[in-house]
Amino acid sequence: MPLIEEKRFPLTELTEEESLFQQTVASFADEAIRPHVRRMDEESVFDSGIIQQFFQLGLMGIEIPVSFGGSGSSFFMAILAIEELSRVDASAGVIVDVQNTLVNNAILGWGSEEQKKNYLPRLASDWVGAYALSEADSGSDAFSLKARAQLRKDKFVLNGRKLWTTNGAEAGLYIVFANADPEKGYKGITAFLVERDFPGFSVGKKEDKLGIRASSTCELILEDCEVPQDNVLGEVGKGYKVAIETLNEGRIGIGAQMIGLTGGALQYALDYSKERQAFGEPIAAFQGIQFPLAEIATELEAARLLVYNAARLKEAGASFVKEAAMAKYFSSMVAEKATSQVIEIYGGYGYTKDYPVEKYFRDAKIGKIYEGTSNMQLATIAKLLLN
């Protein structure tokens, strides 16, 4: 029986450039974001000044070519940035994640030269991007969406409502999916580049969420929304391909968010276990504390290797869909388990908002849900194993 072919890259070794970039983002996260994390979580608003700093540091256009005003860097660099930001605040991580792995990559991969010229410089300098696929009755069954697009002269007119749109409150540009030919089913789905001030477009309800509260999650309302025909991303009827390809990349980004927040929670647990005294010595002296810490650290390293491997494969132009699904599935499972254990290490203090670890636990839960639930990841992995 032949062995399943596995693709591996040198995962834990970072180049000098990657290591320096990682350290720079880590320092920025600790110094510029950490002091504001609790306030932003309580107010459910991400500090606009920090978003401006994301742009100034080039974090919102990591893969955008220098010719379009971006950093001209790599997908792996984006993954490192998401991980380090999420170590301090998962809301920060997902803002940068959606911008780079979904919005920018979709335009880089599917946009016309005119669209790239029009939008990439703005996305690199001052426009937050958002990605609107989900609806009230189309989550995992994403292609059952009800939003419609009708061509009238030189414009498409969009009608419908989109839900769960990350960055919805801050965005200037939205990638919106609607069906331009419902009789063709999913082959009528089309992706549109919709600017915030287009007639008939508005941002609706902002969700009041359990975790990643500073990251906005909004309803979008399309009421005879007029979109120029030139703003079709890719081709009419090829929106399902745009969605599939970008979400496969986005899952690696979510994996990076999950390992980042797990690492942040673990560091708090390590520090606390050395400070907290019980029975005359630090609780770190007891195996009841040591073993959970060792387990978290081991599972975190395994999850990081999965995420980095998927990112390296994507960057090398190799097949990575199965590896991306594995990375998201496993890292989100590790994050939920680890952050729960960290609360227990803190004991009663961990259950209060006076200490930071309960937020990591709340933030971790979304990892099993958005950009493809854990069951959808398992379905993808099984399909590719059995083909």
Please provide the distance, in angstroms rounded to a whole number, between the alpha carbons at the two ends of the chain.
16
Report CA dihedral (248, 254, 255, 259) to the nearest 10 degrees. 170
Length of the chain: 387
The answer to whether 373 and 332 are in contact (CB under 8 A) is: no
In sequence order, which residues have a C-beta less than 8 Å from that of residue 132 and are 6 or more positions away? 162, 165, 168, 174, 175, 176, 177, 220
Establish whether 371 is a catalytic residue.
yes
135 φ, ψ (degrees, to nearest 5): -140, 180
DSSP, collapsed to helix, strand or coil, labels residue 197 as coil
Residue 138 has what DSSP assignment? B
323/307 Cα distance (integer angstroms):
8
Among 84, 315, 323, 371, the active-site one is 371
Residue 170 is given by DSSP the state T
How many Å apart are CA 28 and CA 73, to the nearest integer? 18
- Calpha distance 80→23 (Å, rounded): 10
d(CA 282, CA 274): 5
CB 143 within 8 A of CB 114: no
* Catalytic positions: 371
